[in-house]
Each structure stands twice: as C-alpha cells, then as structure tokens.
Structure 1
C-alpha cells in the first residue's frame, strides 16, 4: 500500500530507514549524511522532502511517499495519529516497539561503558491508563480546540478520541470545551492540567484571562455537574486559586493519604506507580531502617518505604513538600517520615550527610542528578536505588556511581507512556 503526504518545497530524496533513533524517528543514510524521519519504521523505503536540520546537524525529512512498506508497520489505531504529538509510534508493530524501548536503555549504558546485560525485560503499562495529562486549549471564533499540540508545532489537535488517557479524563473534554468557550476571549489560550485522584478529578486551568463573577459561577456549576474533587485557576507561574472544591483530592501512598497541590506532579498511571514502588521496595534490605528519599515530590516512595524504616524526604518544591509534610503528620505514620526543603541541584547532600543512611533512593527530573550523584558516589551508603525518566542522564549518573565503587545489580525499564519515546527505569546499586 502506498501512502502519500502533502507535497511541498524542499529537495526530494529516496532513502531506506535502517533503525529508530532515541526519540522514535526513523534513521536513514543519504549522501548528505543522516536523515531523521518522523513516523517511519525500519525497513521502509521512502521518498522524502528534506525539511531542514535537526539536532547535531543531521537532516530532518518529511515523508512524501512510502515506496516500500516495512513489515514492521501496522495500521495506527487512533484517528489522530500523525498530526497529534501525543504519540509517535502507533504505526510500529508491538514487538518491534517493545524491543526498541528495551534497546534504548542498553544503548545508553554501553555508550558509557556499562554492562547492558544488567537490563531486564521491559515492563509495559497498557494504553488508556494515563490518570494525569496536560491539555492545550485555544478559542478561535465560536470553537475551542482542546487536546495535545501537533508535533513540532503550537497548533492544537482537537481530540475526538484518545487511547492514552483514562475514560474519566477523556469524557471531561467535551464539557470543558463548553466552559472555556464562555470564558476565553477569541484567540486566547489556556492549559488544563487534569489528574484523576481516588476522590475525583483535580483540574487546574492556567490562562492569562482572569475569571469574572459570571465565569466563576459557571465554573462552580461545571465542577458540581462533573463531580470534580477540586477546580483551580492560575496565571502561568502564579500560585493556583481554588475556585470550587467538593472534597479534597487524595492519593494513597503506603498508609498515608496525600492531598497533592493543584497541577502537581504524580506518576502518570496507578499501574506504573505500583510497579515502580514494588521495584524500589524490593531493592531495600529488611535491615535498612534509615532511608533518604531525594527529589521526594509528594512522597510516592517515602511513604511506601516507611514501614518499618524511618525516611527523611528531601524536596525543593515548596508546594510538594507542604503536601508531604501535612501527610507525614497523620497518626498512622507514627513520625516515620519527615520532610526537609533542599534544592539538590544547588545544595546537594554531602557524603558525610548521606553516610548515616542505610539506603538512598533518588528520583530526579529528566536532567538527572548531576550535582548530587558525585556525593552519593563518595559516600558509604550500602544500597542506592535510582528511578529515572531519561536513560541518557541515568547512564551518565550510573557511570559516576560505578566509578565511585558501586556495583550495578539490575536495571528494570518501565513504559508508562505507550507509543512515545519516554521511558522510565529503576536501577539498584550496592557497595
């Protein structure tokens, strides 16, 4: 079957795709060098339009025609696939997709001279399980587009279907469009951060257009009709203002009930969170009674590890730390979790501070723990567990730990973002 895309300007070339790059684009060789081709598969023969340079000086190509289709191609299940930036790999056969994700971790480890044999089979979370998402919105005339951005564009794909998020979150989109139509002036943009908690949906709307009295009444009615737990508003970067709260949004970690801040980070799926927690708990020896949780967030790991151990949780974000500390005061925890505000990029824990712990858990942002890891490597902590959402920064940090005397025991990759290049992992290091 031959598929054609809209032709346009730019030089045309024919190439064969040989592999997938780290971001899910196909990679082909040409007389001009490497060409990265979105929405392609290994084995494709393609006619491309060269569309400018990509990272590192490589070229980017747009598919004009599939001359010969790879046997790894399948029909994408979502009608929005292609333009929508929410997924990049729905066109790839399931085993080829999982093999590629598994290979991502091994590739980055080998680039740093590390043992890829420590990488275990990929753990996959099913589509339709995302309980947290960030949707973009824009009003244009009498229509509000609400969904994900197009790939490499500020344009919005107005979602009529989505195979990523839970049904609860997707069913919220249509009534939310109606509310935003009555709120936003023509041309105005907004962002909706939605999270499905155990007590209902927590919704934060970010927009420069402040809600007036009539809009606030409409939002309160919307929250009641949709049975939201909480609805908040803010301008980007400001402290959110709750506009309606039927009940507190709650999440359970261990024996703690946590109320997350509006728009706060949480693991994208319950299934993925459970898998991560079980892997971390399984790595901590029963004899470890003093634990440090670095980049602790709202306490996903700290509360799950606080039996029988005592956990000191370090977090730089004040709203996340406040949620953690409030939950830590619950009687069921008996004081086993304490929080401390610490920007670990600017003020990492020194080796002598870490030496008092039996185990350290760290879950940094995508950039990794570049400032903190050298101090862990100099410490005498017997067990270190790393959680990462970026195999590249993880491999760099792992190299530092190993050079400091740690042994990498296992790496378990976990796919919480189906059909994308995002990948998480848990790794265990011991002295």
Structure 2
C-alpha cells in the first residue's frame, strides 16, 4: 500500500526512519524532515518519491549512487553528515551518563580510500568489476568511484584479466585491493584452484599492470615488489589480510589523537596493535610493547621496527587478548596504554585496564556502542573521559571511528 510519511530521523545504517501504526518504517536515501511517498513492504519503502526535500539534500556526485550498494549518504550535505555522525557518538555516550569534550570531527577527503574490496564476475561478454547492489547478489559494474584513490580504479583492467583466469561462471571473485608505495596489493578469495600455467599468467599480469603482490585464496602467488606501508619512519610489509586504516588522512588523524592522549608516557603498551600503526609512531618518543593476536602481523611490525632508524625499543608479543587479556600486574610496567579493538570492543581487557595502575589510556574505536560500554567501565573505576575525536574516513557511509583520552590521578 502506498503511504505518505514524514521522515523523523536517520537510523544507524543511514536510512530515514518514520513511524506507521507504531512501527518504524525505513526509507533509504531520505533525510529527516522530508515528506516521502512510496509502497511499504514489510518495514521499508525501498523506492520512495521525495515530495518535500530539505535544505540538506544535495545532488549525489556519483552516477552509481543508489545502485552499486556502496554509499548510503551521498544525497546529504557534508555538514549534515558530519553533524549526524558526531551526534551519533554523543548520544550513545549520554546514555551512559558521559558528556566529554568533543573535538571537531575530521572527515577524509574524496578519492582518498587506499583500500576497497571489489567483486569480479566472468560473463559471456568478458569480466565485470563492481559492487553488489544493495541487499542483492546483482553485480553492478562501476566506471567511476568518488571514494577510492585513482590507482584502485586504474587497476580494473588488470583485475578483469585476473577474473578471466580464475573465476568460474557461477562464483564471483572477491578482490581486496590496497594501494601501496610500490603498486596495488591484490588479495583474491573465492577463486578457482590455479594450475601452473595460470599461476605463471598471474606473474605476467602483475608485471604488465604494476601490481606489487597477488595473493590467491590465502597464498602469495606473485610478489613483484614489496607492498610497503609506512608507519612513522618504519616501512612495513603487511600480510595480505592485515587490518589497515582506510585512508592516510584518517590514519594520521587517529595516530595524532592517540599520541596526544598518552601524553609524555615513556613506556606504552599497544593492545590490538595490528602491524604497528600506533606502536611504530609512538616509538618516536616512548618504548613500546605491541600485542596482537596475529603472528603474521607481529612479524611485519617487528621487521618494520628493525629496519627503521630513530625509534626507541619496540618489543612485540602474539597473544589473544580476548582469551588472555593483559592483567594488572603485567600492565604495571607501563605508563600508558593504546587500545584499538575490533568492533566487538574489548570488555575483558578493559576490565583489567580499569583495575591496573595505568594513568593514561588512548582508546580507539570503530563502534560507538561498544566504546560507550567500555568507557563507562573505565569511568566507574576512576578514569575521566577527557575528550573524544570523531573521525570519518568512510565518507557517505554510516560508519564512524573515534579516539578518546582517559586519564586518572
């Protein structure tokens, strides 16, 4: 049935939300205050007509918006998105009784994503590279993207050659692509098992298109050049499946805020350290102990530190911090902690930090909900939440990241 509704707010996924007979109705690509019309199916109006647009509505810059499934908020002004994301974090913290100072939000520029995962499919007319349409398995071929660095789009020609070699007609390839100092780092999953000739062909594709490394179903098949990422003064070669910040701008903002949060500490523990994004930057002024559950990421971090100059000592440890969080007596060796957990947060590790004698904590999070839970725990233990820096390196999405400073006397 066709309904006319007034949008009341945005939901956590960036969809407009209205109310009908006491039930929330979600309306993609709408904004608060707009009057919309469309057919309600379940709890959604999938294709709404905007009867009364609001001032925050803008023309989307990309021709693929609404079809490719990548962006949710290109129809909203930058100022609106920034305010909405900042408000999202403020709201969840206020629910926990926390009202810190908020630094101005930092938003990464367009065309700055250094990594993205594309889908490649082999068809009768050749290969396609793109994204799945929202909520479907329909692949939308893209010819432009205002999010990613131009080098990623330039790699499509070579990626299509990979698809023709290694994709079946039924199963598309997942192609995680990262821009590095020496060319694209290509990590293919869900590909066919390659024979000797096909593996050799990948080497030719890498040489032809300047791919630094090609990993196929978890195995490095080609490495024409080291796929280097730079953290501070250290050159690091991350494993193909390593976690990296999405943009250089976002990474620098997060690092600068985290270093500010730990202050003049001389001994820092970096929990969930990854390949050293924070540890190798903090080592410019402090001795650092990096802890991460992935052995391959710790090896990359250690090799990067050993090859760098001008850094203080960085030790490292492979440890599952969910199964074995650092305990208060172990934490007593350090002046400050940097913690950057996955989306699930770090409840057990935060509980041990709360019981420790550490005075400064730089908390990095990609999930305001789990962050607010962990923040309340620290504050109950005597920490003060001094400030929060919101970082938007996933433009036009609902995703948000932050750094916060916790201190106690």
Same fold, judged at TM 0.5 (above): yes
Indicate if the aligned counterparts of 2:120 and 2:172 stay in contact, CA closer than 8 A. Answer: yes
Aligned equivalents of 1:328, 1:122: Cα separation in 2: 31
Q: Which runs of 5+ in 2 are unaligned?
A: none
- 1:137 aligns with 120
SS, match of residue 63 in structure 1: coil
Asked if residue 27 in structure 1 is aligned to residue 5 in structure 2, the reply is no
Question: Deviation per CA, 1:89-127, whole angstroms, max 9, x where unpaired?
Answer: 000122111111111111111111111x52221111101
- 1:427 aligns with 404
Indicate if the aligned counterparts of 1:292 and 1:357 stay in contact, CA closer than 8 A. Answer: yes
Report deviation, 1:209. Answer: 0.4
- Of 309, 323, 340, 1:346 maps to 323
Report deviation, 1:232. Answer: 1.6
Aligned equivalents of 2:407, 2:311: Cα separation in 1: 29
- Of 244, 248, 251, 2:222 maps to 244
Asked if residue 70 in structure 1 is aligned to residue 54 in structure 2, the reply is yes
- Of 171, 178, 197, 1:195 maps to 178
Q: Which runs of 5+ in 1 are unaligned?
A: 1-10, 53-58, 235-239
Aligned equivalents of 1:147, 1:113: Cα separation in 2: 43
- 2:76 aligns with 92
Aligned equivalents of 2:328, 2:216: Cα separation in 1: 42
Kindly report which structure 2 residues correspond to 1:398-417, keeping only aligned pairs within 5 A, or say none.
398-417=375-394
How large is the Cα RMSD of the aligned pairs? 1.6
- 1:364 aligns with 341
Question: Deviation per CA, 1:59-104, whole angstroms, max 9, x where unpaired?
Answer: 2222342222222211111011002221100001221111111111
Report deviation, 1:334. Answer: 6.4
Report deviation, 1:160. Answer: 1.0
Indicate if the aligned counterparts of 2:26 and 2:45 stay in contact, CA closer than 8 A. Answer: yes
TM-score after normalising by structure 2:
0.96
Compared with structure 1, are the counterparts of its residues 151 and 280 closer, same or farther at alpha carbon in structure 2 (3 Å cutoff)? Answer: same
Question: Deviation per CA, 1:279-313, whole angstroms, max 9, x where unpaired?
Answer: 11122222x11110000000010010012311111
- Structure 1 residue ranges (4+ consecutive) displaced by more than 3 angstroms after TM superposition: none
Asked if residue 264 in structure 1 is aligned to residue 261 in structure 2, the reply is no
Asked if residue 185 in structure 1 is aligned to residue 168 in structure 2, the reply is yes
Kindly report which structure 2 residues correspond to 1:112-123, keeping only aligned pairs within 5 A, or say none.
112-115=96-99, 117-123=100-106
Indicate if the aligned counterparts of 1:328 and 1:338 stay in contact, CA closer than 8 A. Answer: no
TM-score after normalising by structure 1:
0.91
Aligned equivalents of 2:50, 2:205: Cα separation in 1: 47
Question: Deviation per CA, 1:160-181, whole angstroms, max 9, x where unpaired?
Answer: 1101100001111133113312
